[in-house]
Amino acid sequence: MFTTFFSQESQPQKEKPKEGDLYKIITTFGKTFEIYYGYYEESDRYSKYSEPIEVYPDFIKNPEYTKEGTPFVTAIQNPCEYYEKINDTTDKCIDCKYFEKGEEMFGLCKCKARNKNKHLIK
């Protein structure tokens, strides 16, 4: 018990990330993304409880595709019109049957209707 107490005491305090700090460089499905700490909403910045968090790309505003034309999504992305819910938890892409998980929060949307090359898919 004392060992646990003293070993926790001697751990250096981890510095809280600041806005603009690099969280990670993540390569998934052939693309590399730099993820920085920040805020999703401008209003979050002024909340007294808010701290910068890892901000993932907004693929609704700025779509990205694999070379096969498959759209990138994030697990926390709001669902689109083709959403097919398989879990009753979040109402986000992660609960859709077309979500294929990648690294961290990244994924692909395997819905043919959303593929950039859908005219080539049989």
Contact residues for ligand SF4, defined by CB under 6 A = 73, 77, 79-80, 82-83, 93, 96, 98-99, 109, 111, 114
Nearer to ligand SF4, 16 or 119 (CB): 119
Q: Is residue 114 a contact partner of residue 80, using CB atoms and an 8 Å limit?
A: yes
Q: Which H/E stretch holds residue 32?
A: strand 31-38
Closest separation between CB of residue 79 and ligand SF4, Å? 4
* Comparison of 24 and 85: residue with beta carbon closer to ligand SF4: 85
Nearer to ligand SF4 (CB atom), residue 51 or residue 100: 100
Count of CB atoms situated within 10 Å of the CB of 7: 9
Cα–Cα distance for residue pair 121/111, rounded to 1 Å: 11
Residue 2 C-beta: closest distance to ligand SF4, Å: 51
User: What does residue 120 show for φ and ψ, rounded to 5 degrees?
Assistant: -95, -10
Spatial separation of the C-alpha atoms in residues 30 and 18, rounded to whole Å: 29
Residue placing its CB nearer to ligand SF4 in the complex, 31 or 44: 31
Q: Which amino acid is at 64?
A: E
Residue 108 beta carbon to ligand SF4: minimum distance, rounded to whole angstroms: 8
